[in-house]
């Protein structure tokens, strides 16, 4: 595991990690702001069969875990608190935009909770595993 982490750290701050973070940020905005009928295929895929109550919260958790991780890896966050503060503010901004845009999405405090939880899970993972190797 330590070798994988070391190899991963060698690519942190590279132009590829910065491009990937920028691209992911745009994709995250699109996925969370566009109406669900625009981004949904409408078909019966295998993923639609995996359904459980509040499953979208798991998606929010995962999206913001990845977002925080990529932001850290790109070295956009210069200070330790920025690793978690920027994604939390970004998630809050998305929920506020959903409320005011009127594109079929609504403000949901539980989405914010899932975003924050994913952000802090990534933050603690990074601090524990990446920062001290």
pLDDT score recorded for residue 132: 55
pLDDT score recorded for residue 87: 95
pLDDT score recorded for residue 97: 93
- The pTM for the full model equals 0.82
Higher pLDDT, 45 or 129: 129
With a cut of 90, say whether residue 6 has pLDDT above it.
no
Quote the CA–CA distance of 34 and 21 in Å, as a whole number.
20
Q: Residues 16, 73: contact at Cβ < 8 Å?
A: no
Quote the CA–CA distance of 69 and 105 in Å, as a whole number.
26
Query: pLDDT, tens digit, for every residue of 9-54?
Result: 777 878 888 899 999 999 999 988 988 666 555 555 544 555 656 7
Quote the CA–CA distance of 93 and 81 in Å, as a whole number.
18
Q: Residues 24, 67: contact at Cβ < 8 Å?
A: yes
Q: Residues 122, 69: contact at Cβ < 8 Å?
A: yes
How wide is the angle at C-alpha 16 spanned by C-alphas 10 and 17, nearest 5°? 65
CA atoms lying within 13 Å on the CB side of residue 35 = 7
Domain residue extents for the chain = 2-35+57-130
């Amino acid at each position: 595991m330590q070798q994988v982490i070391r190899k991963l750290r060698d690519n942190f701050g590279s132009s590829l990690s910065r491009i990937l973070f920028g691209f992911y940020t745009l994709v995250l905005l699109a996925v969370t702001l566009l109406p669900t009928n625009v981004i949904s295929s409408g078909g019966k895929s295998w993923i639609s069969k995996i359904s459980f109550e509040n499953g979208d919260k798991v998606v929010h958790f995962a999206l913001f875990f990845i977002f925080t991780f990529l932001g850290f890896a790109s070295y956009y966050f210069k200070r330790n608190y920025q690793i978690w503060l920027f994604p939390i503010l970004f998630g809050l901004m998305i929920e506020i935009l959903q409320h005011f845009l009127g594109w079929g999405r609504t403000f949901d405090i539980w989405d914010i909770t899932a975003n924050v939880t994913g952000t802090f899970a990534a933050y603690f993972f990074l601090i524990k595993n990446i920062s001290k190797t």
